[in-house]
């Protein structure tokens, strides 16, 4: 997991020119908030890495996507391709669109390809929501002839959502029920333990809370405001 203590954030000069400083006018508080923002962003990338690592243990990772897709009918089983093999593929074409994963599933006479966009959160503005859906649909359209023997499914995974409806609401109803997929359902598709991944992600929460409270307490103006709330008008 990513720790706040290991997340430096932006330089003071960048922060002084940024939105947090304009909102709060305190360089130290703004820097701390910048570090938290960086932590949140890195946490999303870390989720992708964890899915890859857990999939590697299940031996379902594909390093050479073209080799797997060179035959019209692939061996029965489940295969996960991350961004690097997708990017390197000469069979799959993205034209600037890069999904997080392709999940390829061969079961008896059926071959299914799941085009996956993995999201740590599921709350987006309307413009972003439309773009996410459009990108997946366009990727599927570009590759429908290349994947002629496959049933293609576009999925937006809200990893922490507990229902499809949560994802649909978070994406301003620009995502339909067929496209929405919970993190639990995604892990079931891959044969991974959802609870195990969530437990692993929670390990650094205590450390992150301590680092945040330690750092925020160092800011004199914040301490003074806290004292006003708890002890009247006394300052530290």
- Domain membership of residue 196 (yes or no) is no
Q: Which domain holds residue 23?
A: 4-52+202-231
Do 48 and 156 fall into the same domain?
A: no
- Domain membership of residue 100 (yes or no) is yes
Question: What is the CATH classification number for the domain harbouring 67?
Answer: 3.40.1350
Do 74 and 163 fall into the same domain?
A: yes
- Domain membership of residue 236 (yes or no) is no
User: Is residue 235 scored above 60 in pLDDT?
Assistant: no
**What is the per-residue pLDDT across 46-97, written as a single tens digit (0 to 9) for each?**
999 999 999 999 999 999 999 999 988 899 999 999 999 999 999 999 888 9
pTM of the predicted structure, to 2 decimals: 0.86
For residue 68, the model assigns a pLDDT of: 94
Neighbouring residues of 6: CB distance < 8 A, sequence distance ≥ 6: none
Mean pLDDT of 176-180: 95
Do 123 and 162 fall into the same domain?
A: yes
For residue 95, the model assigns a pLDDT of: 87
Do 79 and 184 fall into the same domain?
A: yes
CA distance 190 to 52: 11
Do 187 and 127 fall into the same domain?
A: yes
Do 75 and 156 fall into the same domain?
A: yes
Do 63 and 165 fall into the same domain?
A: yes
CA distances from 175 to 6, 85, 91, 222 (A): 35, 27, 28, 41
Do 63 and 140 fall into the same domain?
A: yes
Q: How many helices (H) and strands (E) does the chain have?
A: 11, 5
Burial of 223 (0-12, 13-18, 19+ CB in 10 A): middle
Do 77 and 179 fall into the same domain?
A: yes
Lookup result for tokens 């023997």: 149
- Domain membership of residue 220 (yes or no) is yes
Number of domains in the chain: 2
Mapped onto helix, strand or coil, the DSSP state of residue 182 is strand
- Domain membership of residue 185 (yes or no) is yes
Mapped onto helix, strand or coil, the DSSP state of residue 112 is strand
Do 100 and 146 fall into the same domain?
A: yes
Query: Can you give the three-state secondary structure of 142-166, one letter per residue?
Result: HHCCCCCCCEEEEEEEECCCCCHHH
Do 26 and 128 fall into the same domain?
A: no
User: Is residue 1 scored above 80 in pLDDT?
Assistant: no
- Domain membership of residue 197 (yes or no) is no
Mapped onto helix, strand or coil, the DSSP state of residue 234 is coil
CA distance 85 to 82: 6
- Domain membership of residue 27 (yes or no) is yes
> In sequence order, which ranges of the chain are alpha helices (DSSP H)?
12-16, 19-24, 27-57, 65-69, 83-88, 126-143, 164-170, 183-190, 194-201, 205-217, 220-231
Lowest-confidence pick of 26-35, 36-45, 96-105, 212-221: 36-45
Do 68 and 184 fall into the same domain?
A: yes
Burial of 11 (0-12, 13-18, 19+ CB in 10 A): exposed
Q: How far is CA 116 from the centre of its chain?
A: 11
């Amino acid at each position: 997991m990513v720790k706040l203590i290991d997340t430096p954030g932006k330089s003071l000069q960048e922060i002084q020119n940024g939105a947090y400083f304009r909102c709060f006018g305190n360089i130290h508080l703004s820097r701390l908030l910048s570090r938290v923002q960086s932590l949140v962003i890195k946490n999303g990338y870390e989720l992708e890495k964890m899915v890859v690592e857990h999939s590697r243990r299940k031996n379902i990772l594909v390093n050479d996507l073209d080799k797997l897709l060179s035959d019209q009918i692939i061996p029965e089983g489940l295969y996960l391709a991350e961004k690097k093999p997708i990017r390197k593929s000469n069979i799959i074409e993205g034209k600037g669109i890069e999904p997080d994963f392709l999940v390829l599933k061969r079961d008896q006479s059926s071959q299914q390809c799941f085009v996956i966009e993995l999201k740590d959160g599921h709350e987006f503005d309307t413009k972003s929501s439309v773009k996410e859906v459009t990108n997946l649909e366009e990727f599927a359209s570009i590759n429908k002839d290349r994947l002629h023997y496959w049933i293609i499914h576009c999925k937006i995974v809200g990893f922490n959502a507990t229902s499809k409806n949560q994802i649909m609401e978070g994406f301003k109803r620009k995502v339909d029920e067929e496209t929405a997929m919970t993190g639990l359902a995604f892990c079931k598709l891959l044969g991974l333990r959802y609870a195990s991944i969530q437990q692993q992600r929670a390990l650094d929460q205590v450390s992150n809370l301590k680092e945040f409270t330690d750092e925020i307490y160092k800011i004199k103006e914040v301490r003074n405001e806290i004292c006003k709330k708890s002890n009247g008008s006394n300052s530290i």
